[in-house]
Structure 1
Amino acid sequence: MKRIVVVGASAAGLAAAETLRREGYDGALTLVGAEPHAPYDRPPLSKQILAGEWSPERLPLRPYADLEALGLDLRLGLAATGLDPAHRTVRLADGTRLRYDGLIVATGVRPRRLPGAGAHVLRTLDDALALRDRLGPGRHLAVVGAGFLGAEAAAVARGLGARVTLLEPAPVPLAHAVGERVGRVLSGAHLDHGVDLRTGVAVREITGDGVLLADGGLVAADEVLVAVGSLPNTDWLAASGLTIGDGLVCDAYCEAAPGVYGAGDVARWHNPLFGVDMRIEHRTHAAEQGMAAARNLLRPDARKPFAPVPYFWSDQYDMKIQAYGHLRGHEEVAVVAGDLAERRFVAAYRTGDRVTGALAVGMPPKELRRWRQAVAAGASWDGTVPDGAAVPAEAA
């Protein structure tokens, strides 16, 4: 290959570029990023950056000298606007057409928005700084969506002295992912810290005065953060002929089409470890998939399926939440260590007859590692989980 183009200059794209060089590729390598910033870390945006504990200078994933050493044709502040696989060209917002022999798509996601205007979202450095400047004692923040991002932002805002109202359409936040019992435990931390948590609430639109609810009520607030999920950045691929379905659809090798691979939040690929298609929006996963896509692109005759045990973490108040595996769609949950009431526990998750996930709150890493090993090994549920620990998913 003479030229490889990586579209997306965040964790997945940078990992792909570094892997290509590390694996011996010495041809032309272009890294395209829609943001003007050099590749930076996103998880701290809703934690240390929003809290004012870090300055933006701590965010870059690599020192500039390390980027220079990669010999990149770095195109920052330019979004990709089109792809022509037949002619192997990527079109950029300034009209430039980049020819490629190999392509890695790592364009990530963008926040979902709600009707109305004036709400904050939290995806980029600029988003985090804009919200940070509006928080503090005497301010009232309404957060729409009590998933992990909304929960982290609510926790930080409370720590800054702001009043927080957290609005969630589901009866129990995060129950679809972690189960009702675990969801209630995590929600309880917000109540303990003075958050006005309202569940089963539908939002109509954002107004200049706050959040207008579907029943006509108004949640007045100084600032509104919308954290209701994200959309894969695939619009630029609409005329490409590639398969799009909640992301760029890829096979088990992360390949979307001949010479075109996907990585990170935008990629929906078949994970053979679990036998299902999945798209994952977590920092560790993005880097791992960027590396896997790069290796498979570079050595098509020695490709390996990408079959990771996904990992994510979240910091909320004094809770360190960590999880491995595929928790969604589980059928049973078992508390296998610790105590839910103390918010120090490990919960294991079953799908079919296998252990498919584990989540820990406030526990030493070794308590969770053995459950990661069980997930990776496809361990049977009955042979791994103690009798009497599990409850059906509908009661979990």
Structure 2
Amino acid sequence: MGKEMIGLPIVGMVMAEVAQVGLMIMGKAAMSHGMPNFVFVFYSNALASLILLPASFLFHRYRSFSLSLSLSLSIIPISLSPLIFRFPCRSHLPPLTFSILCWFFLLGLLGCFAQISGYAGIYYSSPTLATAMLNLIPGLTFILAVAFRMETLNLRSSTSQAKSLGTIVSIAGAFIVTFYKGPSLLMAPSHSSSPHLLLGQQSNWVIGGFLLAADCVFASAWLIVQASVLKKFPAELFVVFYYCFFVTLQSGIICLIMGGDLSAWSFKPDVRLVAVIYSAVFGSAFQLGVSTWCMHRTGPVFVSMFKPLGIVVSVVIGVIFLGDTFFLGSLVGAIVIVTGFYSVMWGKAKEGKLDVQTQGMMSESSSQKVALLSNNTGEP
């Protein structure tokens, strides 16, 4: 892969991580101004559903048109190729069965719990802690994948050892950032004079850590279910639309059960409206689109390597603009979590290389067998 081809994915993933941190900060800003986390989840997913519905049809129709155009140009003479524009392009979507809808419902339920617990954890702690805890997801996903027999665990293999050790190290780092604050390393100059900026001044760090850990567990389970859903319904943007749609319904039911003051649904002050729009546009549309585009060109390992960048971005934004304090425990815990994260990613990357080598050896062996059989057949 050339420098130009790798340059755009790097820029794209940096922008996606900045958008992710901005999503956490805007969500905390909305909650600090009186909007409950479940109301924020309802509004953001409802708006995201309205955006993703037409975008999904347009994207799928464009992709189907591009595929039919390339196939037509490959089998039709160039002089006749303009004729293909006279034929409408039909979109070939997988059948939407009741079983698929049940999978979408489960995907939305896990995502709903993940978002509600995640935003609550951010409210009680800080976006810095949230971005550090997100690096738990690869390790927890590995544990769930082993439990559901989607991954094999062979403790004699170096790849399995790396993934297992990385998972344990990541969990240890999560305990560090949750239970140990330590002295402050970075503090905004306006920390004492701007109390309205101190979104985490009255936070409970331990409760926030546990809620963010629950968010990571739900998010890991969400990834496992999403992998199964995409095998049954391979239309990415439609999967995201149905996911946001069911999260809207489920969070709406939670809102009705929780009740509360009607003022919680208001978009006053304006920061609530800005946060909801940002969450819908950049959280569900932009970030997902860029990450999917980068993953298609570079693979999941490359995309995963940018997760620790969110810690740096959240620290800079939190200290400069939000008056957050960066503690020693956050630094030590983040380093431990990132170390475990890269251990899991290294194990996955090496495992992928071994799979490719094994497939190559098997194909070479099969070709040799075919050649041997053909030689035996040709003998008198």
Fold-level match, TM-score > 0.5? no
Question: Which structure's residues are more often strand, by fraction?
Answer: 1
- State the TM-score, normalizing by the size of structure 2: 0.27
Question: Which structure's residues are more often helix, by fraction?
Answer: 2
Structure with the bigger RCO (C-alpha within 8 Å, sep 6+) is 2
- State the TM-score, normalizing by the size of structure 1: 0.26
**Structure with the greater alpha carbon radius of gyration:** 2
